[in-house]
Structure 1
């Protein structure tokens, strides 16, 4: 069924107003039983209501892992961390250095969102049907491709609903924010000290609104803006950011890359006029070319993109073809469903989307406009409930929050992070030249006491805020080889 823009706006507004009412939490803090679980961690499960609007109803469990402070006698308390991107505990097990330095001051408590969990845990849900490729609407741009993507998403959604059972009804960030509050109480902390990265910032945004009196120090890095009710405005931010990213790649290449003295944007434009491009025994279509370039615009991939464009300009686009996204994971996981419940619980039909896309082309004509299809492909065909749609943030009385914004972050547009920061009283922003998840990536790369990491540590440990207009260099960008 096609939904008009007016109807969609009404759905978003009505559900947002209902969803932001604060539900009561259990009177007694839930008990946590910690036990060693390998890799120097202690694990526990947090038992929470499926729906916090009915706190005495059916329950579900959430996975926790604790990395104890190095010196318990001098620790400053607990720091709750969610790294985004679905699961948190398993990725930190694989790369503990992303957060291990924080144990110099805190017990670092990792929390997985609902439906995700540690390896082998009963809290980790596997959906029989994987989520279809995010590239689906780009590679099949017609109405038939739209319908096929919707069918594939519906099958994925149905398999996650079956796998989670009744717990599927709690798959929104509104519920996760209440889980964070329950965890704060269970830890015995008077306020929540929180580090949210990427999708973990969506849980943080919900917590700011729902529990402003319980907010302690909060760092949000790599922010997806959950405060834009208009789907078109949200997609336009992504489109403009991607177009800017092509310009940044161009500027980076001017200082030396595999393209030699050729102008990167001129090479892009020439290749686009020549599609389909020869690629070994096959070809690269226009859609495949745009998708490959879009994937290559993440800064760590810039050397590969430059080399692939060079090779394509010389007559062989086979390396561009290799930049396409990986096929969907099997089995699937419910994190993708939560994103749809939070950001796109209702979508326009194909013809209405075409009108939106024409306006995206006007503001981002080279590459950015395809982000509309890239984002909508996640959710077309998904069920409309549960839902926690985007809405302006109401977070009065919260203490200062630190928001890190990367100039080269095309994963979560910097304009969205700025839009969020403007709605949080006293929020302080630190801009930097790196991309998405910069704090975690700098930590994992062993860069030492970088500008960004010093700001984060000073704030978390002492409440010291950076000066207004603070800016850090691109410490990771400086290490990208030019090929």
Structure 2
């Protein structure tokens, strides 16, 4: 998931440096546009994920920002940026800045790979993205090494019994200690409030009086916090695959359990509807789900060898979740489950590797470390073993397949070395320009209800909700003509869709 899910729920950071008061510029004045020295882009580094250098239309640069905005003249870090210039310079509007989510996803690596979906927007915008602080080339958070991460992601994340629970907690403590040892200097400063201040620095350095923004998944939360801090600086903004800003960490995790269960049911129904073409045993969606639960139980006892690695129950569950992010991945999920049932775990493990940022050469991007660090810098809650176990029945009721996996993930920040900033983010943005907020009824990772909550919290006349009745994480990149017409009409021509508009498949 280069736009990785908020599966690894955490609590988030740096209360000392993250004052929420008011909507001042937070020290947002930045270097002048000409200070950005754009150059040809290198290939993504290991922290961003391996790959080929972007094509010649892409340029890269770096922008210095304060490590601690309470000390604007103190230490700085570099933010990595990437852009492709507008193809119609005569009618250019400005720069359209993307955040693809995670948190922890590299925008520098993701935007070139996804740019084909945004070519109409590139006509009048420079397409721009960045590695947020703590991510990729921007002061990357680093925790365990590749060998340690292989063991960490293979370990049991749904423990049963005191001994397994102790091992689970010890693994979390070891991981958090490694993060503190290797990245302790930046951990207090990687939260969303600081990232929002960075976003305003980027806007200013690009020479735009207003922010033109496309936020996806966690990028919607970042965009909402930006709109709260800098409402007068919002130009045209789109939030797609919207995070519910009213959920605390536990509520967000439970919402995801329900969302992934919904998506799994839709996948199973689609398989049944295809009759004999469906490779999975069962004549009803429930029977297909029964088979998946049975596979999980077998893997918990006896993982499937895959070379010198193993497909564990935890890895299989992560791989299933990864495949539910897009309907395009459903055939891979069907094949992976069928093969695992027959004793081959290679495909499900590959899907789990994609979830965890493992590259084909065995190295890891830092998406997992950054995801934990940013979440733990944001959310205050630190759940004890007893609190977590008390909530597991609700998670299991929400999903037999994902309930334990997401319930136990609530402890991801329990041993974290720095405190979190909020219970829930403040995204109220009175005085902001309209923000188009798109909810997808079949979204597994950011359930549909979050879009309505975001629109409501942004405020009357600011949040404009659009519903897409579809599948997968996000709406614009589904290719749905109705969604794309609404988004393009707003970003390119300033036409705000009617409130509560609906697009169907």
TM-score of the alignment, normalized to the shorter chain, above 0.5: yes
Q: State the secondary structure of the residue aligned to 1:180.
A: helix
1:74 to 62, 75, 91: 91
Q: In the TM superposition, what are the counterparts of 1:98-117 in structure 2 within 5 Å?
A: 98-117=117-136
1:212 to 231, 246, 250: 231
Q: Using a 3 Å threshold, how does the CA distance of structure 1 residues 457 and 42 change in structure 2: closer, same or farther? A: same
> Mean alpha-carbon deviation: is it higher for 162-171 or for 411-420?
162-171
TM superposition shift of 1:207: 0.4
- What runs of 5+ residues in structure 2 fail to find an aligned partner? 1-10, 42-54
Q: State the secondary structure of the residue aligned to 1:422.
A: helix
> Mean alpha-carbon deviation: is it higher for 42-51 or for 92-101?
92-101
1:385 to 411, 419, 428: 419
Partner residue in 2 for 1:29: 30
Partner residue in 1 for 2:73: 56
1:295-330 superposed Cα distances (whole Å, 9 cap, x missing partner): 554433323444555677xxx442567424226644
Q: Using a 3 Å threshold, how does the CA distance of structure 1 residues 210 and 135 change in structure 2: closer, same or farther? A: farther
Output the CA distance in 2 between the equivalents of 1:261 and 1:116: 43
Q: Using a 3 Å threshold, how does the CA distance of structure 1 residues 435 and 253 change in structure 2: closer, same or farther? A: same
Q: Using a 3 Å threshold, how does the CA distance of structure 1 residues 234 and 84 change in structure 2: closer, same or farther? A: closer
Q: Using a 3 Å threshold, how does the CA distance of structure 1 residues 99 and 89 change in structure 2: closer, same or farther? A: farther
TM superposition shift of 1:106: 0.8
2:293 maps to 1:269: no
Partner residue in 1 for 2:268: 250
Q: State the secondary structure of the residue aligned to 1:195.
A: strand
Q: Do 2:25 and 2:229's aligned partners in 1 also have CA atoms closer than 8 Å?
A: no
Q: Using a 3 Å threshold, how does the CA distance of structure 1 residues 321 and 65 change in structure 2: closer, same or farther? A: closer
- What runs of 5+ residues in structure 1 fail to find an aligned partner? 1-10, 475-483
TM superposition shift of 1:233: 2.3
TM superposition shift of 1:459: 0.9
Output the CA distance in 1 between the equivalents of 2:202 and 2:314: 46
Scaled by the length of structure 2, what TM-score is found?
Answer: 0.77
Partner residue in 2 for 1:152: 171
Output the CA distance in 1 between the equivalents of 2:424 and 2:110: 28
Q: Using a 3 Å threshold, how does the CA distance of structure 1 residues 417 and 367 change in structure 2: closer, same or farther? A: farther
Partner residue in 2 for 1:436: 473
TM superposition shift of 1:342: 4.5
Q: State the secondary structure of the residue aligned to 1:166.
A: coil
Q: State the secondary structure of the residue aligned to 1:429.
A: strand
> Mean alpha-carbon deviation: is it higher for 285-294 or for 208-217?
285-294
2:395 maps to 1:370: no
> Mean alpha-carbon deviation: is it higher for 45-54 or for 12-21?
12-21
2:491 to 452, 460, 465: 460
**Structure with greater contact order relative to length (CA < 8 Å, sep ≥ 6):** 2
Q: State the secondary structure of the residue aligned to 1:423.
A: helix
Partner residue in 2 for 1:401: 435
> Mean alpha-carbon deviation: is it higher for 35-44 or for 79-88?
35-44
Output the CA distance in 1 between the equivalents of 2:422 and 2:443: 25
Q: In the TM superposition, what are the counterparts of 1:86-105 in structure 2 within 5 Å?
A: 86-105=105-124
Q: State the secondary structure of the residue aligned to 1:405.
A: strand
2:392 maps to 1:357: yes
1:393-427 superposed Cα distances (whole Å, 9 cap, x missing partner): 33222222111222222122222233222212231
Q: State the secondary structure of the residue aligned to 2:286.
A: helix
TM superposition shift of 1:203: 1.4
Q: Using a 3 Å threshold, how does the CA distance of structure 1 residues 192 and 345 change in structure 2: closer, same or farther? A: same
1:172-228 superposed Cα distances (whole Å, 9 cap, x missing partner): 010010011122222232221111112222211210111112111111112233432
Output the CA distance in 2 between the equivalents of 1:92 and 1:248: 29
Output the CA distance in 1 between the equivalents of 2:409 and 2:28: 40
TM superposition shift of 1:95: 4.5
1:57-104 superposed Cα distances (whole Å, 9 cap, x missing partner): 222221112211112222011211122232111222344324444220
Q: In the TM superposition, what are the counterparts of 1:114-193 in structure 2 within 5 Å?
A: 114-118=133-137, 123-124=139-140, 126-129=142-145, 133=152, 136=155, 138-164=157-183, 166-193=185-212
Q: In the TM superposition, what are the counterparts of 1:407-426 in structure 2 within 5 Å?
A: 407-425=441-459, 426=461
Q: How many residues align?
A: 450
Output the CA distance in 1 between the equivalents of 2:101 and 2:85: 21
Say what the alpha-carbon RMSD is for the aligned residues: 3.6
Output the CA distance in 1 between the equivalents of 2:331 and 2:432: 43
Q: Using a 3 Å threshold, how does the CA distance of structure 1 residues 429 and 16 change in structure 2: closer, same or farther? A: farther
Partner residue in 2 for 1:302: 330
Q: Do 1:87 and 1:117's aligned partners in 2 also have CA atoms closer than 8 Å?
A: yes
Q: Do 1:284 and 1:317's aligned partners in 2 also have CA atoms closer than 8 Å?
A: no
Output the CA distance in 2 between the equivalents of 1:37 and 1:398: 35
Output the CA distance in 2 between the equivalents of 1:135 and 1:375: 14
